[in-house]
Amino acid sequence: MASFLSDRSTTLSSSGVGARGCWIASKSRPATNFRYQLHSSAWKATALSPTKRIQREIPGSYGLPLLGSISDRFNYFYFQGTEEFFRSRAEKYQSTVFRVNMPPGPPFFPDPRVIVLLDQQSFPALFDVSKVSKRDVFTGTYKPSADFNGGYRILSYLDADEPRHAQIKAFCFDMLKSRAKSIVPGMDFAACRCFDRWEKELRAKQAPELVSSIEEICLAFLTRALMDHDATGASGLSTETIKKWLAPQIAPVALLDAIPPPIMELLHVFPLPFAVVKKDYEAIVSYFSAHSTALLDLAATHGVPRDEALHNLIFMVCFNTFGGLIRLLPEVVQRVHESGVAKELSNEVAAAVRDAGGRLTARSIDGMPLLHSVVYECLRFQPPVPFQYARARQDMVIESHKEAFRVKKGEMLCGFQPFATRDGVVFDRPNEFLPRRFMGDDGAKLLKYVLWSNGPQTENPSVDNKHCAGKDFIVLVTRLFLAEFFLRYESFQLDGQSIKSLSRRSPST
C-alpha cells in the first residue's frame, strides 16, 4: 500500500508470452462463459411457490449395475461435459430434480447413485441438517482415506450431530476471530510483494503467470495472517507440496489436464493410496507443527486434543481455504477483466481509502459498494465449490419450482450449484456477469440466493449447521485482494492466464 502512495502512474507490459496451465485451477474455470440456464419448461415457473402435490416418481435412471455408472461417467467427463450432462437430462426429464450416477464409480467406489438438485427451490434441502446428514459426504459419494488427515475424520466430514463437530468448529471460529487483526496486514504483505514481482517481470518483458502468482499470494497470506510466518520463505512450504497432497483426495472426481484419459479413468474407479503423498504430507505436518503452537493452545480450550487439532488446522488452511481461494481469486481477476469495471473499481477503492485517512482497513472496505457487488457476483456466477452432497436422514419431500418429489431415507442428494445460482426464476439475465447486480436495496434482496458457502449468503455459519466456517473471512479476503490490486493499478490486460500489462494509478487520483 505504501508503495502505491509514492509511485507515479506507469504502464508496464509484457511481450505476451502464453499462459502456463495449472492442474488444480485449469479445470476449475471455464474457457468461456458456460450457459447454465435451461431453456425448456423445466425452468418456466415464475415464483418460489410453497407445497405442491407429488405427481410422479423422481425421473431418471441409474441403468444397469456397473454399465450405467460407466456410461454416465463417460458422458460427464468426456462426451458431454459437466454442463451439457446436467442440462440434457433436465430437458429430457422436464425436471430440475432427477436420478443419475455421479463419479467416481465401482468397483472401488461402490455407490454412485444420486438425486440431482438444480434449482433454487430444491437446492436448500441440502442445508437442512434436521432432514439430511452431512456425514462423510464432503467430497461426494466417496471419502478419501483418513490417512490423508493423520488418521482423523476431519471436521468437514463430520455431521452436525456428532459431538466433535461443535468443538472443532468452535475452534475454527475462534481461530479466525483471534487472528482478525492480522488479516489486512497479511494480505498487504503477500499481495504487494507479488505486485512488485509482476512489475519486475514486465519490465524484463516477461509475462507473469496469474494462477501460480495467486497461489503464492494465498499461501504467504494465510500463513502470515494465521501463524505469523511466511511459508513461502526459506524453510517453509511450497504450493506444489500442498497441491500434491490435495490431488489424490480430489482425483476421483476430477479431470486433470496433465493426465491422459486412460489413467484418469483408473483414478475414477480406484483410490490412490496415501503412500504416494506421504512425504509431502509429512512436510506439511512438520511445517504446521513448528508454527501453530498458539493455535493448538486455542484448540485445547475447546477440548480438541492437540494432534487432532493439528490435522484439522492443516485441512482448514490447506484444503478448505487454500484449495478454495486458488479457484476463486483467478476467476475474480478474469471476470473483472472481462466485465470492464477495472477503472471504476480503482476509483472507488482510491476514494474510500482516501476518505478513511489513506489506509486500507477492514472498515474502509465497507465504503466500496461496487467492489462488494463484484465479489458476490463472482461467487454467484462461478461458485468455487460447485457440488454439495447430503444423505436423507428420513423419508422426505423435496420440491423443485414445478413439482414435489418423494425421497427415501438414505438416498444421496447432489446439488450442482452453478445451475441453482444461475436460476432464471430468481435472477435476471442469469448467464451474464453483471458487476452491479448486488448493489442497492434490490441487489441486497438477491443475496439469499448466493449459496457458495453451503448456505445462503444472508445466513450465518454456526456450530449447529454445516455452513462454511470461513464464509465472512473469504468475502473479506477477496475484497481485500481486489482492493490491494486496485489501490495500485487502474487497469490491466490479460493474455490468456498471463498478465500482459498493468497501469499504475497516479498518486494524485
CB of 316 to ligand HEM, least distance (A): 4
Indicate the burial class of 279 (C-beta count within 10 angstroms; 0-12, 13-18, 19 or more). exposed
Interface with ligand HEM (CB under 6 A), residue total 26
Under the binding rule (CB under 6 A), the answer on residue 384 touching ligand HEM is yes
**Of 330, 456, 457, nearest in space to 384 by CA:** 330
Q: Give the residue, chosen from 87, 113, 131, 134, that forms a contact with ligand HEM under the rule CB under 6 A.
A: 134
Under the binding rule (CB under 6 A), the answer on residue 133 touching ligand HEM is no
Query: Binders of ligand HEM among 43-102, rule CB under 6 A?
Result: none
Q: Give the list of residues 6+ apart from residue 326 with CB closer than 8 angstroms, or none.
A: 24, 25, 211, 214, 215, 218
Stretch that binds ligand HEM, among 70-78, 247-255, 341-349, 463-471 (CB under 6 A): 463-471
Cα-based angle 378, 384, 28 (whole degrees, multiple of 5) = 105
User: How many helices (H) does the chain have, and how many strands (E)?
Assistant: 18, 10
468 is in an annotated binding site: yes
Instruction: Identify residue 210 by its one-letter amino acid code.
Output: L
Under the binding rule (CB under 6 A), the answer on residue 385 touching ligand HEM is yes
| Contact between residue 255 and residue 267 where contact means Cβ atoms under 8 Å apart | no
3-class secondary structure, 157: helix
Under the binding rule (CB under 6 A), the answer on residue 298 touching ligand HEM is no
3-class secondary structure, 391: strand
DSSP 252-289: GG---TTS-HHHHHHHTTSPPPGGGGHHHHHHHHHHHH
Nearer to ligand HEM, 310 or 502 (CB): 310
Nearer to ligand HEM, 69 or 388 (CB): 388
Q: Give the residue, chosen from 38, 90, 114, 155, that forms a contact with ligand HEM under the rule CB under 6 A.
A: 155
CB of 426 to ligand HEM, least distance (A): 19
CB of 115 to ligand HEM, least distance (A): 15
* Cβ-proximal residue to ligand HEM, closest one: 470
Counting other chains too, the contacts that 155-160 makes at CB distance below 8 Å and 24 or more residues apart are 155/312, 155/315, 155/316, 155/469, 156/315, 156/319, 156/320, 158/134, 159/129, 159/133, 159/134, 159/135, 159/466, 160/129, 160/134, 160/464, 160/465, 160/466
Under the binding rule (CB under 6 A), the answer on residue 250 touching ligand HEM is no
Using only C-alpha atoms, what is the Rg of the chain? 23
Longest Cα–Cα distance of the chain, Å, equals 69
Residue 412 is given by DSSP the state: E
Query: Binders of ligand HEM among 393-452, rule CB under 6 A?
Result: 452
CB of 24 to ligand HEM, least distance (A): 13
- Number of Cβ within a 10 Å radius of residue 40: 12
CB of 384 to ligand HEM, least distance (A): 4
Cα-based angle 151, 155, 159 (whole degrees, multiple of 5) = 110
Q: Give the list of residues 6+ apart from residue 198 with CB closer than 8 angstroms, or none.
A: 12, 208, 213, 499, 502
Q: Give the residue, chosen from 346, 388, 400, 503, that forms a contact with ligand HEM under the rule CB under 6 A.
A: 388
Residue 57 is given by DSSP the state: P
Query: Binders of ligand HEM among 158-177, rule CB under 6 A?
Result: 158, 165, 169, 172
Q: Give the residue, chosen from 4, 34, 416, 473, that forms a contact with ligand HEM under the rule CB under 6 A.
A: 473
Nearer to ligand HEM, 98 or 387 (CB): 387
Under the binding rule (CB under 6 A), the answer on residue 468 touching ligand HEM is yes
CB of 57 to ligand HEM, least distance (A): 26
Nearer to ligand HEM, 45 or 155 (CB): 155
CB of 438 to ligand HEM, least distance (A): 17
Binding mask 300-319 for ligand HEM (x = CB under 6 A): ----------------x---
Under the binding rule (CB under 6 A), the answer on residue 469 touching ligand HEM is yes
Query: Binders of ligand HEM among 325-354, rule CB under 6 A?
Result: 325, 328
Positions at the binding site: 468
Positions at the binding site for heme: 468
Residues that bind ligand HEM (CB under 6 A): 134, 138, 155-156, 158, 165, 169, 172, 316, 320-321, 324-325, 328, 384-385, 388, 452-454, 466, 468-470, 473-474
